[in-house]
Amino acid sequence: MTATARDRRRGSHCVTVGWNWPNEKSMEVIPMFEIRKMLEDRANLIHEARSILEKAEGEVRDLSQEEQNRWEALWGEVEALTSRIERAQRVEEAESRLAQSMDAAIRPDPGDNGDGDRALPEFQSRALHEMGADLDLSTLGRLIQPEYRTAFAAWLRRRPGERLPSAEARALQADQDIYGGYLYAPLQFVDRLIKAVDDQVFIRQWATVMAVTDGEALGAPSLDNDPADPTWTSELSIGSEDSTMSFGRRELNPHPLAKYIKISRKLLRKAPSVEGLVIQRLGYKFSVTAENAYLNGSGAGQPLGVFVASNDGIPTSRDVSADNTTTAITFDGLINAKYALKGQYWPRARWLMHRDTVKMAAKLKDSNGQYLWRESVRVGEPDRMLGFPVFMSEYAPNTFTASQYVGILGDFSFYWIADSLQMEMQRLDELFAATNQVGYVGRLESDGMPVLSEAFVRVQLAAS
C-alpha cells in the first residue's frame, strides 16, 4: 500500500453497518429477567438429574430403567434450555451492537486527491476491520461507492423483465463480471454477511480472521521447533550453536463456497430491506457449512478442520487417549488432556464438544465427589469443566467407538481464517418461476486451518 493510500485510509471516517440475525427463524428478544429465570430452571433440572445418579451411587447399583428414563428426560430438558439460553444471549448481544451501528453511512473522504480512488472505510466485522493486505483501491474502491450500493439493491429487488434506470445500470456496468451474469457485492454487503456468519459460528468468534483480495493466498511463517536450552558458559564464550530451531510456512488459499437461496416474489415486494433478507438467508447457510468445515474439513479445496489429523494442522502427536475407554471418556482421561496443554494457552483455552460428549462428561466426578462439569448460573457465562469454558457444536464428532475423537481443548486464536473481500452474486429469475420465487446465488471464498499444533489437544477414545 502506498503512503498516500495509507494516509487516506487513516484519515477516513469510520463506518459501521447494520446487520441481521442469520437464523432461519425470526428471533424473539427475550427480556433479561426471563434469561435469568431459564438459568435457574436449568440449574434445578440439573440438580434433580444429579440426585438420581447420587441415589444409585449411594446404594451401589446401576440406574433402574425408570431412573434412566427420567434422567434422559431431564437431560433433554437441560439441552433444550441450554440452546434457548444461548440463542437468547446472542440476540441480546446482537441488539446491543445493532443499536450502535444502525443507520451509519459512508461520508466523503476529505483526503481524496481527486483521482477517483476513495479510501476504504473501517468496517465492523473483524475480517474487514483488520485488513492489512496491500489493497487494490482502484478495484475495490468502487465497491464502497453509494451509487454502486444503490444499484446493487435495485438489482436484487427488480422484477423479471424490468430494466434498471440508466444511472443504476451504468453503475453496475463498471463491474467486469456482469457479462457472465454475476455482480461483485458491495463491500458493505460482504461485511454484513461475514459478520452474520461470525455471530453464528463459535470458531469464527475465537479465531484470527484476516481479509485478502482477489482470492490471493495468505502466507505466514511458523516456528516448527523451538531452539534448545542455552548452556552455562564463561564470560568470553558464546555457547554452542543451536541446530534444533526450524521454521515452516502456513499458507491459506481462499476456496470458493457457493450457495443459492429462494425467496418468494411476494416477500421481495413487501420486504423493507431486500439486502437484509438475502444476508439473513445466506448468512445462515454459509455459517453452518463453515462451522462444519472448521471442525471436520479435509483441507483439500476447503478449510482444514481441528478434528482432522494432519501434519499441516494438528498432528496425531496432539491426541490424548490415555485412561479413556474404547467407548467413553473418563475423569482421568480429561485430566490428561488438560495437562497436555501448556499453561501459557490456558487463559484463552476452551473445550469444544458435541452435546452427547457433554452429557457423558456431566456424570463424571473427581475423587472428592465433585462433578467435573459445572453449569453456569449467570447470564453471559458459559458452563465450565476443569476450569475451562465448555461449548457445544452439532458438528463435533459423537461416535463413541475405539480411537475416535470426541472433543478438543485449545486456544482457538491459533486457528487462522482468510476471507476474500470479493463476493459474487447471481440472480436467477426464470429457474424458479413456476413456484413464483427468485433465486440468488452467492459465491464467497474462505479458508482456515490451525497454525500452531501445540495450542490444541484432541480428546480421543482408547484403541481397541
Tell me, what's the pLDDT at 296? 96
Tell me if residue 192 falls in helix, strand or coil.
Answer: helix
Mean pLDDT computed over 42-55: 83
Looking at domain 123-226+243-354+393-464, its CATH class is alpha beta
- Dist CA 273 CA 85 (whole Å): 28
Look at phi and psi of residue 403 and say left if phi exceeds 0, alpha if psi is from -120 to 50, else beta: left
- pTM for the model stands at 0.62
Amino acid at 206: W
Q: At what angle do helices 187-198 and 146-157 cross, to 10 degrees?
A: 70
CA-based nearest residue to 414, from 457, 455, 448: 455
Q: What is the DSSP letter of 309?
A: B
Only one residue has cell 446401576, namely 62
Read off the pLDDT of each residue in 163-173 and give the average, rounded to a whole number. 47
- Cβ 406 vs Cβ 327: under 8 Å: no
* pLDDT tens column, 300-311: 889 999 999 999
State how far the alpha carbon of 45 is from the alpha carbons of 68, 219, 257, 376, 384, in Å. Answer: 15, 49, 41, 13, 17
Residue 320: closest CA among 427, 438, 406: 406
Question: 199-216 pLDDT, tens per residue?
Answer: 557 888 899 888 776 556
Is residue 392 within 8 A of residue 353, CB to CB? The reply is: yes
* DSSP bridge pairs for 111: none
Q: Residue 66 class from Cβ within 10 Å (0-12 exposed, 13-18 middle, 19+ buried)?
A: exposed
Q: Which residue has the higher pLDDT, 228 or 405?
A: 405
Indicate if the pLDDT at residue 128 is higher than 50: no
Tens digits of per-residue pLDDT, 403-461?
999 999 999 999 998 887 656 677 787 888 888 888 878 777 889 999 889 999 999 99
Query: Which of the pair, 349 or 16, is modelled with greater confidence?
Result: 349
- The x, y and z cell numbers of residue 404, run together, are 475416535
Q: Please report where in the chains the cell 479458508 appears, as a residue.
A: 447
When computed from its CA atoms, the radius of gyration of the chain, rounded to whole angstroms, is: 26
Proportion of the chain above pLDDT 70, given as a percent? 61
For residues 45 and 81, the answer to whether their CB atoms sit within 8 Å is yes
* Grid coordinates belonging to 136: 487494490
Backbone angles phi, psi at 261, to 5 degrees: -125, 155
**Would you say residue 387 has pLDDT above 80?**
yes
What cell was used for 259? 450457495
Work out the average pLDDT over 226-239. Answer: 74
CA–CA separation, 400 and 39 (whole Å): 30
Instruction: Answer for the pair 55, 2: CB distance below 8 angstroms, yes or no.
Output: no
Quick one: cell of 401? 467407538
Among 83-97, 119-133, 145-159, 195-209, the minimum mean pLDDT is found in 119-133
Identify the residue whose cell numbers are 485510509. Answer: 9
Domain boundaries, the chain: 123-226+243-354+393-464
Nearest residue to 407 (alpha-carbon basis) of 345, 347, 360, 343: 360
Q: The dihedral of CA 100, 5, 173, 165: what is its sign?
A: positive
Whether the per-residue pLDDT at 374 is higher than 70: the answer is yes
Q: How confident is the model at residue 3 (pLDDT cuts 50, 70, 90)?
A: very low
DSSP label at 125?
S
CA angle, residues 403, 405, 409, in degrees to nearest 5: 135
Cα–Cα distance list, 65 to 68, 71, 379 (Å): 5, 10, 35
- What mean pLDDT do residues 19-46 have? 64
Q: Give the integer Cα–Cα distance in Å for 437 and 439.
A: 7
Q: Per the structure block, which three cell numbers stand in for 74? A: 431431564
SS3 185: coil
DSSP 206-273: HSEEEEESTT--EEEEEEEEPPPPP----TT---PPP---EEEEEEE-PEEEEEEEEEEHHHHHH-S-
Is the per-residue pLDDT at 160 higher than 70? no
Q: Which of 51, 75, 77 is nearest to 63 (CA)?
A: 51
Q: Which residue has the cell 435495485?
A: 154
**101 or 323, which is more confident:** 323
Question: H/E element holding 419?
Answer: strand 415-420
Q: How confident is the model at residue 9 (pLDDT cuts 50, 70, 90)?
A: very low
Rounded Cα–Cα distance for residues 291 and 395 (Å): 7
Residue-wise pLDDT for 69-118, tens only, equals 888 888 888 888 887 877 777 666 655 554 444 433 333 333 444 443 33
